[in-house]
Structure 1
Amino acid sequence: MTASSSGGTQVKNSDVAWDSFDSIAYVDHNYRDLQAEDEEILHIVRDHFADHFRTQGVGPIHGIDVGAGANLYPALSMLPWCDGITLLERSASNVAYLRAQLHSYSRNWDQFWDVLTGNETYGSFAADPRQRFREVVRVEQGNIFDLDRFAGRWSVGTMFFVAESMTSSCDEFALGVERFMCALAPGAPFVAAFMEHSKGYRAGEQFFPACDVGEDEVRESIEPFADEFKVQRLKYEAAVREGYSGMILSYGWRGGMTAE
């Protein structure tokens, strides 16, 4: 740990015992029931991806969810479009949870899929989502900061509540966003979600750090890597837990040039 510019203790990503993340408690608190914030996010994500892929030619599409944690709905949002989906996750406990979901994911995730099918393009998806999930999703244990080895590899990507929720360092937050964006191919659609002004959070008994970011910081971190994108604060106020002021969603397309 190092001292922050404000005089407090700065918790870096490498300081945290990620393997102790309580996946079951986290899912039970956040995803047992569909919350209004997630429903709002799902509406935006499904329309963004459906509008993009409706006009695209055929060809192999590979997606990635960076820092998947114990959250399946970003992968579900990519399911109709992808020949392969990588769930990249650092925590061993979260990796174990994700791998346990591959064969037949838990019924609580059906309510998230139901929201996606409210878009006619998702609604016309003929395959059984569990079977499709089993066929195309793979779980990979890895660190977001190592994604620089895979520049431009993925055709679509998501990153939900990761860059600001893995460190209290502003530099690491910005680097996390950069690694995510640079892992996407030019023109790839993306969606990234952020907790606004988070003070940290708990999964079970363990406390995890967060970086205090708002719309300006999100926009500044994404702008060098996107040709076209939006930054949108969700209409619902902080309700999922204490210690944050709202949620921010950014979505658009990866730019054709890498920032210097």
Structure 2
Amino acid sequence: MSARSSGDAQVMNADVSWEAFDSTAYVEHNYRYLQPEDAEILHIIRDHFGGHFRKPDVGPVSGIDVGAGANLYPALALMPWCDEVTLVERSPANVKYLRGQLDNYRPNWDQFWDVLGEHEAYGDFSIDPRQQFRKVVKVEQGNIFDLGRFGPPRSAGTMFFVAESMTTSYEEFTLGVACFMRALAPGAPFAAAFMEHSKGYYTGKKFFPACDVGESQVRASLEPFADRFEVHRLEAKDRVRDGYSGMILSYGWRGNSDAQVPVGRPD
């Protein structure tokens, strides 16, 4: 089954039954064990955030993870540096899952924290990670297109497998990236991950749409908002599912500009 199987009709974010997202099946399939690609991503973002926040004169930090889904590791990467990390998620099922992890997150997430802890900046973090998670993380139900209602721009942010995994529309993809970047203050470090050339995906028995993007589209979506950033393609060593060709990770810093969202699709 394809997201474009019915006359190539666009599937917009508002058309999707997000309440049908099977959080349990999603975590079991994707995060019960640490996948090689996620381990590689963790190595990169721990260097990025660890290097940034170990600099002197970094003040109080507010973080945001946009479209958290049922994935805790972006929040784990942010939490040592943050006085508050807000997980914004649209699906009621995922919101319930996330709130159920606040007091004592499940043991499968320990392997993700262990990779972060191999970096000295995280290894020097003396507070028990579950205590810190309980202290700083909060969960809010909300839409990526309405992030302004969650407060002023944040000083750090993540968005993993969201903008390309909620619609088949390239315009909505670019708007989603723009909304994420506009939720960050100038100079804020960020990390964003994307499924490359995704054709859509299942959680349990429910199919969800995706926008087919590659490195050039990811780069074009970020360029109006980031002065310095990198884009890395991660080869799919052991694919977690069918229907995609790899993963793309971008990380960098929010720029001072607030350009118009690009309309055309780059080649």
The question of a shared fold, defined as TM-score above 0.5 by the shorter chain, is answered with yes
Secondary structure (helix, strand or coil) at the match of 1:78 reads helix
Q: Bigger shift: 176-185 or 231-240?
A: 231-240
Q: CA deviation at 1:240?
A: 1.0
Q: Does 1:30 align with 2:20?
A: no
Provide the residue aligned with 1:59 in structure 2.
59
Q: CA deviation at 1:56?
A: 4.0
* 1:181-196 aligned within 5 A: 181-196=181-196
Partner of 1:75: 75
Provide the rounded CA distance (Å) in 2 between the counterparts of 1:211 and 1:237: 22
Q: Where does 1:1-260 land on structure 2 (aligned, <5 Å)?
A: 8-149=8-149, 153-237=153-237, 239-260=239-260
Deviates more, 1:229-238 or 1:171-180: 229-238
Conservation of the 8 A alpha-carbon contact between 1:238 and 1:246:
no
Residues paired across the two proteins, number: 257
Decide whether the 8 Å contact of 1:200 with 1:209 is kept in 2.
Answer: yes
Q: Distance in 2 between matches of 1:80 and 1:237?
A: 30
CA displacement, residues 136-176 of structure 1 (integer Å, 9 cap, x when unaligned): 00000000000245685100000000000000000000000
Distance across 2 between alignment mates of 1:163 and 1:151: 21
Report the secondary structure of 1:132's partner residue: helix
Instruction: Compute the displacement of 1:179 (Å).
Output: 0.1
Distance 1:58 1:233, change over 3 A: closer
**Which residues of structure 1 form unaligned runs of 5+?**
none
Q: Tell me, what secondary structure is at the counterpart of 1:256?
A: coil
Q: Residue deviations 1:161-203, cap 9 Å, x none?
A: 0000000000000000000001000000000000000000000
Q: Could you tell me whether the CA contact under 8 Å between 1:157 and 1:184 is conserved in 2? A: yes
CA distance in 2, matches of 1:151, 1:257: 20
- SS of equivalent to 2:224: helix
TM-score, L = length of structure 2: 0.93
Distance of aligned partners of 1:229 and 1:188 in 2 relative to their CA distance in 1, 3 Å threshold: same
Contact kept? 1:195, 1:247, Cα under 8 Å? yes
Question: Which residue does the alignment assign to 2:265?
Answer: none
Alpha-carbon distance in 2 for matches of 1:211, 1:56: 40
Q: In the alignment, is the contact (CA less than 8 A) between 1:154 and 1:185 conserved in 2?
A: yes
C-alpha distance in 2 between matches for 1:151 and 1:251? 23
**What is the identity, as a one-letter code, of the residue corresponding to 1:51?**
G
* Cα shift at 1:58: 4.2
8 A contact 2:236–2:245 mirrored in 1:
no
User: Does the Cα contact within 8 Å between 1:23 and 1:70 map onto a contact in 2?
Assistant: yes
Q: What per-residue deviation string (whole Å, max 9, x for no partner) do you get for residues 63-90 of structure 1?
A: 0000000000000000110000000000
Give yes or no for contact 1:168–1:212 (8 Å, CA) kept in 2: yes
- Residue 81 of structure 2: SS of its match in structure 1? coil
Give identity over the alignment, percent. Answer: 69
Equivalent position SS for 1:234: strand
Contact 2:225 2:259 in 1 (8 A): yes
Find the residue that maps to 2:44 and give its secondary structure: helix
What's the secondary structure of 2:172's corresponding residue? helix
Compute the displacement of 1:238 (Å): 6.0
C-alpha RMSD over aligned residues: 1.6
- For residues 169 and 207 of structure 2, the distance between their equivalents in structure 1, rounded to whole angstroms, comes to 16
